[in-house]
Amino acid sequence: MTEFDEVTLAAFDAAMQRAEPKLKAALKARGVSSPDELPPEVARQVFQEALVQTAAESFPNAQIDALNHGLTAFQHPLFGPAFSRVKAVLSGRTDAFEMVQGIDAAIVLAGFGLPVAPFDKKTPRILGELSNDIDTVANTFSRWKTALVGYSPCEVPFYMLVTDCMRTMCSQLTSRPELEEAKQAFERTGGRLPSGPFQEFQHGMVLIPRGVGDAASTVFLANSNRHQGSVGFYAGWTIDGTRCGVPNEGFVPVPLQFLRAASQDPQFAMWIWRPAGARIILN
């Protein structure tokens, strides 16, 4: 629980208090008075059902699908150990454009709700069907334990704007024609780019909700100017099930900066299901 901030803890405590009557009723129906009297898997199911039902009744705007997925994933026996190992890896310095790799990271991203599959480093191509079910992902990655973790920017409700220099990314976003679609997507949210001050070549990313009817393409702007950073815009769209605007038939590896942000913010998993407003993250 130490990973959760005070706001999240307060919200969780409030939800638990509201769910208590349903939890007691569910336990009584099973002839017990405490979850400790039930097998662990049954106790987890009772707890989850009570919490989800309470959220549906008490919080009309709650993202029930995201909550249900998260509760299921976070109780999965593979998630906790994978999350700990991922956090240990992320504690060190990483390249701004490094890609996510390995089965542990795939399990963590699936737990947060991102559909992923192994991605071949050499070809490059996707090696399986996208899924955010932990058992499915673990089984798929068992064949390619060190593969990159791939996803489809065409099929998620948000874009990623990744850079190795937040200071110059902001200026390039307003001046480089290659980033015009990224600029338009960000401006549509009504957000304001941060003005700093930033450390020299401060890594960061901007997450932008997808708009209805959007048709923005993935772009990587490799900047040869040693005083300016490079920028990657992960976008795409679908037409009648066909992925468009993305190389590799619609699939790319997940940026490591995205995994870092997800592991640091417990509310991140809710945002990626139904994004509202742009999010700016410094890494």
The pLDDT of residue 40 is above 50: yes
For residues 199 and 144, give the distance between their C-alpha atoms in angstroms, rounded to a whole number. Answer: 38
Residue whose token pair is 């705007």: 61
For residues 116 and 251, give the distance between their C-alpha atoms in angstroms, rounded to a whole number. Answer: 10
Helix (H) or strand (E) holding 16: helix 6-29
CB 27 within 8 A of CB 35: yes
For residues 62 and 59, give the distance between their C-alpha atoms in angstroms, rounded to a whole number. Answer: 5
Give 179's DSSP letter. Answer: G
CB 128 within 8 A of CB 118: yes
The pLDDT of residue 8 is above 80: no
Count the neighbouring beta carbons within 10 Å of the beta carbon of residue 244.
12
Higher-pLDDT residue of 18 and 25 is 25
pLDDT band at residue 224 under the 50/70/90 scheme: confident
pLDDT at 223: 86
Higher-pLDDT residue of 160 and 56 is 160
The single-letter code of the amino acid at 38 is L
CB 273 within 8 A of CB 61: no
The rounded Cα 135 to chain-centroid distance in angstroms is 18
Average pLDDT (113-138) is 95
Long-range contacts of 182-191 (CB under 8 A, 24+ apart): 182/208, 182/216, 182/219, 182/231, 182/233, 182/235, 184/216, 185/159, 185/210, 185/211, 185/214, 185/216, 185/235, 186/161, 186/278, 189/277, 189/278, 190/277, 191/277, 191/278, 191/280
pLDDT at 250: 97
Residue whose token pair is 């039930």: 38
The 231-234 sheet, strands edge to edge: 219-221, 231-234, 158-163, 204-209, 279-282
The pLDDT of residue 60 is above 70: no
The pLDDT of residue 94 is above 80: yes
Closest CA to 206 of 159, 150, 157: 159
CB 118 within 8 A of CB 143: yes
Q: In the chain, pLDDT over 70 holds for what percent of residues?
A: 81
Task: Tell if the pTM clears 0.85, that is, is over it.
Answer: no
CB 116 within 8 A of CB 137: yes
**Minimum mean pLDDT range among 34-43, 52-61, 231-240:** 52-61
The 3-state DSSP class for residue 209 equals strand
pLDDT at 99: 96
With the CA atoms of 110, 93, 208 and 159 taken in that order, what torsion angle do they form, in degrees rounded to the nearest 10?
Answer: -60
**Residue 234: phi, psi to the nearest 5?**
-100, 105
pLDDT band at residue 265 under the 50/70/90 scheme: confident
Burial of residue 165 (number of CB atoms within 10 Å: 0-12, 13-18, 19+):
buried
